[in-house]
Copies of this chain bind each other. A is one copy, B any other.
Amino acid sequence: MCGEVQDMAAEEPALRRYYRNTILQYDSLDCALVHHLSNKLANDSVGSGEWYKLLEGVLREPCGGKLVELMRADLQAIMTRDPACEGAAHALLNYKGYLGLQASRVAHELWLRKRRSLALAIQSRVSEIFGMDIHPACRIGRGVMIDHATGVVFGETAVIGDDCTILHGVTLGGTGKDRGDRHPKLGCGILIGAGALILGNIRIGDGCKIAAGSVVLMSLPAHTTAAGVPAKIVGRAME
C-alpha cells in the first residue's frame, strides 16, 4: 500500500503531509487505520489523541488480533468487489463505509466487555460523520463491504454473516411492534441493493440477493432473489 501512496504523494505535493500523517509513517494497516479513525472521530469534546488511546487500547486486548484480521478481510472484500475502487489506500483513506464499519467493530468489542457508554459514543460519532447508524450489539461477520454507506441503519439484534455486500440506505430494522430480539439475521454471501429495508426477526439465507428498493418482511431461503414492496421471491440467485 505504501507504494501506491508514495505515487499519490508525488502526484499531489499539497497532500504529501496528509499522506505521510495518515499512511506513510505507519508500519501496519491497523496502525494507520486507528490513527485515521481517531482523526475522524475527534471533535472539540474528545480529541484525536484521546480517541487513539481508546481505540488502540482495544487492539491491544486479546480480541485485537481478530479485529486486525477483520480490518484486512474487509479491505480485501472492497478490492475484490468494487469496480470503482482505485486501490487499498484509496479505500482506507476515503471509503466511509469501510471506516465506519471498522469503528463499529471496535464498538462491538467494547459492548461485549460491558463498556457500553463508550460503545454508544462511537456509534453516535459514526452516525454523525459517516451517516451510518450501527448499534454496537449488532454482530457482523468477516469480509463485509458497505458501499457508499449514507443512511445505513443496523439494529441492536441484527446479525450479518461473512462476505455480505450492503449498499447505502439499507436498513436492518424492527417492525416497531416488538421488543427484545427484533432484527434480521443474515447468512453469508448476501447482496443487498441500495435502499432496501429488511424488517423484523427474519432469516435471510446464504447467497440471497435483495433488489434495490425492496421491503423484505419475510424470511428468504438460501440462494433466492427477492424484489418489490413488499418483496417476493422472483428467482434463484446465481453467483
Size bracket of the A interface: 35 or more
Q: Given A128-B96, A153-B168: A179 and B44 within 8 A (CB)?
A: no
CB distance from A129 to the nearest CB of B (A): 6
Q: Mark A173-209, 1 if CB is under 8 A from B, else 0.
A: 1101001101000000001011101010000000001
User: Are A213 and B194 within 8 A (Cβ)?
Assistant: no
Pick from B15, B121, B182, B193: contact of A121, CB below 8 A: B15
For A93, list chain B residues within 8 Å (CB). 121, 124
User: Are A179 and B83 within 8 A (Cβ)?
Assistant: yes
Q: Mark A4-17, 1 if CB is under 8 A from B, else 0.
A: 00001001101100
Please tell me which stretch of A47-55, A59-67, A70-78 contacts chain B, meaning at least 4 of its Cβ atoms lie within 8 angstroms of it.
A47-55
Bound-complex Cα distance A115 to B131 (A): 27
Closest 8 CB pairs of A and B: A94-B124, A8-B117, A213-B215, A83-B179, A197-B212, A84-B156, A133-B148, A148-B153
13 CB < 8 A contacts A-B? A8-B117, A14-B54, A15-B118, A44-B48, A86-B117, A94-B124, A128-B129, A150-B151, A151-B168, A195-B195, A199-B212, A213-B215, A227-B230
Q: Add 8 more A-B contacts to A12-B115, A86-B120, A148-B153 (CB < 8 A).
A: A11-B118, A84-B155, A90-B120, A127-B149, A131-B150, A165-B176, A171-B194, A194-B197
